Structure 1
Amino acid sequence: MTVNDNHLVSVLQRVIDPLIVMGMLLVCTALCGGKYTGYSLILMILAFFISSAVFQHLDPYNKWRGGRMAAFVRDILVGWAVTALLLVGIGQVSGMDERYDHAVVLLWFALTPVALLCAQLLAHRIGAVADHGGDSASAVIVGANDVSVRFANTITRNRSLALRVAGYFDDRGDDRRPDGMSQPMLGRMSELAAYVREHKTNMIIISQPISAQPRIRKLLDDLADTTASVYFLPDIYVFDLMQARFDTVGGMPVIGIRESPFTGSNSLVKRISDIVLALLIQIMLTPLMLVIALLIKATSPGPIIFRQRRYGLNGEEIIVYKFRSMTVMEDGGKVVQAKKGDQRVTRVGAFLRRSSLDELPQFINVLQGRMSIVGPRPHAVAHNEQYRKLIKGYMLRHKVKPGITGWAQVNGLRGETETLDKMEARIEYDLDYLRNWSLLLDFVIILRTVLVVLKRDAH
């Protein structure tokens, strides 16, 4: 839904923001006492087109209009960071970076996102004044139920929407009112049209099941002579939602019930963080990995690296690397999980498994794009085929790339899953990660993983 939806937002996204980017370069040049040259003009033109393309792709203003302020700020910062990185890359390749005053460019990189955020705040305020004289738009909800109460509470918390819910219309008695209602019951559905005309209501939210189609049609007929905008609030919360969102396919509106959290800018943020962290870790741990490889080779026959087929993104098979910790190389239709005191585990392998050092080669998988640093741990193909038949929603964990560490592992669900209830608990944590992913959650999981490993080594 869009509130205060007008042409200003579209213009801001497609034209004004790139112009702000160009203008900030001029301002920063003046602040640093620099000179305007032909290379400054080239940089401004490049910045205009690149920032326009990046921000159009990320569409941060859709988050703003939906009340998701944190997502809006994040997309502005990510969009500008991507723009800056592309400009730096072009400058390095072309040699033009030597023609620019680095102090000017650094100041420009720092101040531009602040200017972009301030411009949106100003535009939003102007839009609110233009639409409602600075006042909040009024809305009423048809249907008092758990979904509509949740919607009303969301609107109340998000003041940036400039929308006020006046109350509910419903034909049910007070004894069937849901818990958590903070707005009053205004009347029956038959009284809605008169109320809307009298109070000049801006918006009507219909929260009725599809089975109530005749009543909805009658309601729309009654509202035909009002100017109120009418929206339908679908009852999708009866399903097990995972990253639910609205989208369009070929111009047709659809509702995503189960989707990967890594779409749009989230995918870019996740991939950049994976590459940066994986590279740093690989550089720091290369000497340690060489020592481990020599120990494995010297203490037991067989290859250093164990390659096993696992399920990756969207359930496609990938090859995952680990330091070999056992005397066998199981990767067939039946794979026996390692148990405590398993005779197949080598002496070096026991230490590697206990300290999780056997997982280090998987940072190569991360750089290849097959895995992420944080995500559901990949299981052997044989285990996937076994548990997908036993655990509801098991395959949903493959909506994202598998990870070296995960939410389940830092909550004690690591290693052998000898009973079905242990695997069910692990899957529940995996799905919880998909529902609630954020970059902060990834950071928390990485930090907790390090603490768990250090604590385990101390014992």
Structure 2
Amino acid sequence: MTTIESNRRFRTAALPAHSVVFTILALLADVLVICGAAVVSGIAYHMFTYGAVGAPGRYVIVGVSAGLIFVLPFLIRGDYGVRAYSASEPSHGRIFFVWVYAFLCLGIIGFLTKTTHIYSRGWLLIFFVVGLLSLIALNAILERVTTMLIESGRIVGRRMMLIGTPREIRECTEQIVQRHANMNLLATEILPGDLVAQVDAESLQRMITEATVRARSLSVDDVVIAIPWQRDDIIQSIVQQFADLPVSVHIGCTRILRAAPNLHISQFSHLKTITLVSAPLGPLQLLIKRGIDVGIAGTALVLLAPLFLAIGVLIKRSSPGPVFFRQRRGGYNLAEFRIWKFRTMSTLDDGEHIVQAKRDDARVTPIGRFLRRYNFDELPQLINVLQGEMSIVGPRPHALAHDKEATRKIEAYSRRLNVRPGITGWAQVNGFRGPTLTVDLMQARLEHDLYYIENWSLGFDLYILFLTLFSPRAYANSF
């Protein structure tokens, strides 16, 4: 049995990690920033366009309304607590999605109240961009400030006790130190190391009882059980005894849990299971994503038909060969399909050995260089989207020869095709496009693709589309 003294001298005025004060301050910060963005963008737009400040009162009304709509989903999810701001996980996609949702709600409110004609569409567009950038900047600032407050002791982490075998306790402690999470490890209760063997039940029960007494005296918030899962009898005994305390009891720190970042509880009739790995998208998510794909692809093909015709004429005049380039690519669940692209090279490689394009490649035609620079060569893949072979957003499909090579070098490579490949993706908007000439480049692209698959949401897709159009990194290595 070991008690761990805190390595920090916490101030008496420190806030607890679950403080309501922190939640209120973070929530108000979002509302004030949104309101400020509305007022500043409104005054700037009207001064530039009409030479007058307009009606600041209206900007405040719209700003406050947008702010209240924006904070509600985050408040319901509990995303205004210390834990959310110290999680060190990217949240820009979620902010973008909720911000779009807030504007859609404003549009519905304006339609129902017949007030849409009062507000300038130019100002609202500027407000959307300024508000989004301000919220992303504020979130980054709050994450940094939260980390500083935790490190300085002004925010006290949740009070935790570990109970388990020496090996699991050691691994769990290492995880806490490495993550530097907002928690304060107060004590550990070390049980006999070989729990698989027969253990004196009376001695074990006495140790668990002593652990509950210690947890109560230390006002522990969370108890983490770190015991091999095959001893479910001991785990159940610990849970039953700690149920008499006002604490949260968790099972954790095992290797199988660390290897499953998105685990959750599932129930099949009366059978409950811990789901370690799930299909990337559920039936409803697949339906929503497919509906959006078809809607965007169909509309874009109709609107871009004149552009397609013009590009086709330029390709035929610039070099001999077909307008479109067809090549076998790896698709969903490793299914093979033939991709549509505008031809940008003098060659039409589709064999066992395909030379990737490089900077100043002599095979690229003059018009092809322009098309590749601005991603126009990818537009015909909208046909693949309508055919159900691709999605608007997803991991980029590679030539079959390159897929085979990467699969031999990287063990988890084939996981990137557990969803439909996309015209654009998370790796591409982060600068990982173009040739993958080294294993490190392939690994970096794979990590971004897997992150997208594991964290998919409609908001994430919209965020990637936004970056595809406006981020300079999305155009990097385009040659």
TM-score normalised by length of structure 2? 0.53
Letter in structure 2 aligned against 1:208: I
Q: Identify which of 168, 172, 176 aligns with 1:152.
A: 176
What is the aligned partner in structure 2 of residue 414 from structure 1? Answer: 436
What is the aligned partner in structure 2 of residue 307 from structure 1? Answer: 326
Aligned CA distance change for structure 1 residues 47 and 357 (closer, same or farther; 3 Å): closer
CA deviation map 1:335-367 (0-9, x unaligned): 3333499xxx99556995899569642145379
Helix, strand or coil for the counterpart of 1:138? strand
What is the aligned partner in structure 2 of residue 323 from structure 1? Answer: 342
What is the aligned partner in structure 2 of residue 80 from structure 1? Answer: 99
Moved more, 203-212 or 378-387: 378-387
* Deviation for aligned residue 1:139: 1.1
- C-alpha contact 1:142 1:205 (8 A) present in aligned 2: yes
What is the aligned partner in structure 1 of residue 446 from structure 2? Answer: 431
CA deviation map 1:229-258 (0-9, x unaligned): 2111152557755x6354767896745547
* Deviation for aligned residue 1:295: 4.3
Distance in structure 2 (CA, Å) of the matches to 1:214 and 1:436: 37
The question of 1:206 aligning with 2:225 is answered yes
Distance in structure 1 (CA, Å) of the matches to 2:347 and 2:94: 49
* Deviation for aligned residue 1:170: 1.9
* Deviation for aligned residue 1:199: 2.5
What is the aligned partner in structure 2 of residue 138 from structure 1? Answer: 159
The question of 1:244 aligning with 2:262 is answered yes
The question of 1:166 aligning with 2:186 is answered yes
CA deviation map 1:167-209 (0-9, x unaligned): 3222368xxxxxxxxxxxxx97674223223333232111222
Q: Identify which of 316, 337, 342 aligns with 2:353.
A: 337
Letter in structure 1 aligned against 2:184: R
Aligned CA distance change for structure 1 residues 320 and 28 (closer, same or farther; 3 Å): same
Letter in structure 2 aligned against 1:205: V
Correspondences of 1:18-33 after superposition (within 5 Å): none
Helix, strand or coil for the counterpart of 1:361? helix
The question of 1:361 aligning with 2:377 is answered yes
What is the aligned partner in structure 1 of residue 238 from structure 2? Answer: 219
- C-alpha contact 2:191 2:207 (8 A) present in aligned 1: yes
Structure 2 gap ranges (5+): 1-16, 44-52, 147-154, 194-205
Letter in structure 2 aligned against 1:138: R
- C-alpha contact 1:352 1:358 (8 A) present in aligned 2: no
- C-alpha contact 1:28 1:104 (8 A) present in aligned 2: no
TM-score normalised by length of structure 1? 0.55
Correspondences of 1:106-125 after superposition (within 5 Å): none
Alignment RMSD, CA only? 6.7
The question of 1:192 aligning with 2:211 is answered yes
Helix, strand or coil for the counterpart of 1:68? coil
Distance in structure 1 (CA, Å) of the matches to 2:324 and 2:110: 40
Distance in structure 1 (CA, Å) of the matches to 2:448 and 2:94: 21
Helix, strand or coil for the counterpart of 1:139? strand
- C-alpha contact 1:170 1:189 (8 A) present in aligned 2: no
The answer to which structure, 1 or 2, has the higher relative contact order (CA under 8 A, 6+ apart) is: 2
* Deviation for aligned residue 1:99: 1.7
Moved more, 349-358 or 199-208: 349-358
Letter in structure 2 aligned against 1:168: T
The total of aligned residue pairs comes to 387
Letter in structure 1 aligned against 2:413: Y
* Deviation for aligned residue 1:452: 4.2
